[in-house]
Amino acid sequence: MAQIVLTQRVRDGVVMFIGDVVEIQDDNVELSGPGYANHKIIQVKGMTEKEVSDKLQSLMPEYTDAYKSKTPSDKWGFDRPERKEVWKDGEIWRDLAIRPKYPINLANLGDTDIADLSDEMGSVSSKAVTLELKAVVNLKEIAENKIAVDDLNKAEEVKP
């Protein structure tokens, strides 16, 4: 059985949201004490920590660093290249201006969904589908991260 720990409050100055997935543990890990007082713990019976983590991680878009230099590529120079993080939204590269503290949010899970996840008789595939449908990738929801990087979207990928 996997245990998903979700935030129940936010902190000033930190890009995080109620329902963010803080950690995922197997059932042999004790999730109690003052450190978990402000968190919600959801049990996913029939799935391991690795299975739940892999399912949620598969929702994350591709992201990487992009560089721009004033010096032509075949010339030496003293200018450092400009760097920015970008993420791929379908076929469009977008600026990753603000990186949230936690990448996945499950605030959309309703009481019925939580009951289905903790039901021992429920199928693993239906639980995986519930997680996939209810999960939100936080970086996609931030307005500053929705700006397309035109230079990257015009260029063709260079194949080695």
Place of tokens 């590529």: 73
Predicted confidence pLDDT, tens digits, the chain (160 residues): 999 999 998 877 788 899 999 999 998 888 888 888 889 999 999 999 999 999 999 999 999 999 888 877 788 888 888 899 999 999 999 999 999 999 999 999 999 999 999 999 999 999 999 999 999 999 999 999 999 999 888 755 555 5
Q: 3 — phi, psi (to 5°)?
A: -125, 125
Residue % of the chain over a pLDDT of 70: 96
Of 159, 144, 138, 150, nearest to 93 by C-alpha is: 150
Q: Which residues make Cβ contacts (< 8 Å) with residue 23, sequence separation at least 6? A: 4, 5
Q: What are the structural domain ranges in the chain?
A: 2-154
Q: 103 — phi, psi (to 5°)?
A: -75, -30
Q: Are strands 82-89 and 63-68 parallel, antiparallel or unpaired?
A: antiparallel
Q: How many residues does the chain have?
A: 160
